[in-house]
Amino acid sequence: MDYKIIPSVCSYCGTGCGVLFQVMDGKLTDTLPMKTHPVNEGKLCIKGWNLHEHVVSDKRLTTPLIKKNGEFQDATWDEAIQTAAEKLKGIVSAHGPDSVGVLASAKITNEENYLTQKFARAVIGTNNVDHCARL
Amino acid sequence: MEEQMKKWLEPFSTTDGKPSTLATMQEQVKEWIDQDKIDVFLGYKMVQGHPLPHFFTKNNLDEVDELIGGQARYSLEKIATKIAAEKPAIKIGLMVRDCNQRALNVLYVWNQLNPENVETINLNCCPSKLKKHADCSYLEPEKAAVYKKEVGIDNNMDVEDAEVFDMEQRFKRWMYEFSKCIKCYGCRDICPVCFCKECSLEHPELIATGTLPPENPIFHLVRAVHMGGRCIDCGLCEDACPVDIPLRLLYRKVNATVEDEFGYETGTHADQSPFNLLGDEVTLEPKPL
């Protein structure tokens, strides 16, 4: 029997609402708005209220997938990264760097987002960078 | 901020000048856990500068020294209901204000919690017309701004004041309030007495889906009707509403009707609700096959 309330910050958009995760016997069961958080003051949108669902969802991918013969198949990270790199390289050499756009994410850290734009600008050579939280 | 923190940490100062009873409460909780009277106690603890709901068990008995009243009001009874649904035999201790107690009464009536498995420690409640003295100022209402006063409903109104408007005005004003809804379901999700497995608000044949605001006024009126004989006027829904819809006032009106028609005061006791069709026993004779 183990119950916990874990304070965190919503990862859906850039607002930064305070949330509380309810953890029962190691399983994330619910999300509550943090009442004293200066950003959201005890309020959340529908995505925030259901934040735990993308952690516990059955639909969550647990391994990389590569589409072969029209169907997604389990792959290793090495295979997945190799495939992505080769395809990106091919597209850049055939159509130029501005044929690629990079979308960063609210679910990763600031530092990872920095790396993402660096990858777009320095490696691919495009300024086509945007973010899912630019609502 | 410092003043506020101080208030959170010492919510137990009594009117008659008696010393803080925080220590007494902590002792009581330790005793209950030690003697296996309860398996878990739901109270508050300061975590990262925030008063948060916290679980105290035998495994973290030392932490009971950090148990506080917590001026931020969470629905501890809703958390308890969810735990009890997983583990029906568990004995739960709760820190309760008046509103939590009213919610518990409703949850007992609807068989969501077993009163024999629940122990409570009472805490001063938020200020209200019934209880002038209170420590919690969390529900101190915000003043309505000019535009809201002109076209909407002031959240601080009494039911009688809101009925002064003529029918056309009243409908227009409520529709303005409902039109702000972003369908976050926060009012339902935070509600201590909302426990249905299937919710009418999510039923596509009852309420149209795919647009914002949701189908109005039906979305809000369905919820309002379901609050009859259930709502314990804790105000958590209004508190969680990102667009400031005067839900508390709406449900007060519904409950006033329940009281007029059935003489039932929701949450004041754990007696059967007039809307509960199920008895404790089956009284019908089984028919021959």
* Radius of gyration over every alpha carbon of chain B, rounded to an integer in angstroms: 21
Residues 6+ positions from A98 with CB-CB distance below 8 Å: A126, A128
Whether A27 has its CB under 8 Å from any CB of chain B: the answer is: no
pLDDT of residue B157: 85
pLDDT: is B23 or B71 the higher one?
B23
Nearest CA in chain B to A43: B240
Q: Do A44 and B90 touch (CB under 8 A)?
A: no
Q: Do A3 and B40 touch (CB under 8 A)?
A: yes
* Radius of gyration over every alpha carbon of chain A, rounded to an integer in angstroms: 19
Give yes or no: residues A46 and A8 share one domain: yes
Give the whole-angstrom CA distance, residue B107 versus residue B78: 9
Q: Say which range, A21-25, A65-69, B9-13, B191-195, has the weakest mean pLDDT.
A: B9-13
pLDDT: is A114 or B2 the higher one?
A114
CA distances from B162 to B120, B170, B182, B259, B261 (A): 36, 8, 24, 19, 21
Q: Do A22 and B185 touch (CB under 8 A)?
A: no
Closest CA to B120 of B20, B65, B27, B41: B41
Distance from CA of B71 to the nearest CA of A (A): 9
pLDDT of residue B242: 94
Give yes or no: residues B98 and B204 share one domain: no
pLDDT digits (tens, 9 = 90+) for B116-165: 999 999 887 655 555 555 545 445 567 888 898 889 998 888 888 888 89
Look at residue B267 and tell me if it is in a domain: no
Q: Do A36 and B72 touch (CB under 8 A)?
A: yes
Does B34 score more than 50 pLDDT?
A: yes
- The structure tokens listed for B185 are 């379901």
Distance from CA of B241 to the nearest CA of A (A): 6
Q: Who among A2, A7, A30 is closest to B52 (CB)?
A: A7
Phi, psi of B100 (to 5 degrees): -65, -40
Give yes or no: residues A8 and A51 share one domain: yes
Last residue of a domain, one of B61, B89, B122: B122
Does B55 score more than 60 pLDDT?
A: yes
Does B10 score more than 50 pLDDT?
A: no
Q: Do A20 and B185 touch (CB under 8 A)?
A: no
ipTM comes to 0.82
Nearest CA in chain B to A48: B184
Q: Do B83 and A35 touch (CB under 8 A)?
A: no
Does B21 score more than 90 pLDDT?
A: no
Give yes or no: residues A125 and A85 share one domain: no
The overall average pLDDT reported for chain B is: 84
Does B20 score more than 70 pLDDT?
A: no
Give yes or no: residues A17 and A38 share one domain: yes
pLDDT of residue B271: 79
Give yes or no: residues A48 and A74 share one domain: no
Distance from CA of B197 to the nearest CA of A (A): 15
Whether A122 has its CB under 8 Å from any CB of chain B: the answer is: no
Give yes or no: residues A49 and A65 share one domain: no
Does B277 score more than 80 pLDDT?
A: no
Whether A43 has its CB under 8 Å from any CB of chain B: the answer is: yes
Q: Say which range, A6-20, B6-20, B111-125, B142-156, has the weakest mean pLDDT.
A: B6-20
> What range defines the domain where residue B18 resides?
2-122
Angle between helices B218-226 and B247-262 (to 10 degrees): 50
Does A117 score more than 70 pLDDT?
A: yes
Domain count, chain A: 3
pLDDT of residue B70: 74
pLDDT digits (tens, 9 = 90+) for B78-129: 999 999 999 999 999 999 888 889 999 999 998 899 999 999 998 876 555 5
Last residue of a domain, one of B107, B122, B137: B122
Query: A43 to chain B: which residues are within 8 Å by CB?
Result: 186, 240-242
Closest CA to B56 of B37, B78, B82, B75: B37
pLDDT digits (tens, 9 = 90+) for A21-80: 999 999 999 999 999 999 999 999 999 999 999 888 899 899 999 999 999 999 999 999
Give yes or no: residues A75 and A100 share one domain: no
Confidence of residue B8 (pLDDT cuts 50, 70, 90): very low
Asked whether the CA dihedral A73, A51, B81, B110 is positive or negative, the reply is: negative
Give yes or no: residues A112 and A67 share one domain: no
Look at residue B73 and tell me if it is in a domain: yes
For chain B, the residue count is 289
Q: Do B52 and A1 touch (CB under 8 A)?
A: no
Domain count, chain B: 2
Look at residue B232 and tell me if it is in a domain: yes
Give yes or no: residues A39 and A68 share one domain: no
Nearest CA in chain A to B91: A1
Confidence of residue A93 (pLDDT cuts 50, 70, 90): very high
Give yes or no: residues B16 and B111 share one domain: yes
pLDDT digits (tens, 9 = 90+) for B170-185: 999 999 999 999 999 9
Whether B176 has its CB under 8 Å from any CB of chain A: the answer is: no
Q: Who among B86, B183, B242 is closest to A24 (CB)?
A: B86
Residues 6+ positions from B3 with CB-CB distance below 8 Å: none
The CA dihedral of B115, B116, B119, B123, to the nearest 10 degrees, is 30
Query: B239 to chain A: which residues are within 8 Å by CB?
Result: 35, 42
Whether B72 has its CB under 8 Å from any CB of chain A: the answer is: yes
Does B239 score more than 90 pLDDT?
A: no
> What range defines the domain where residue A131 resides?
96-135
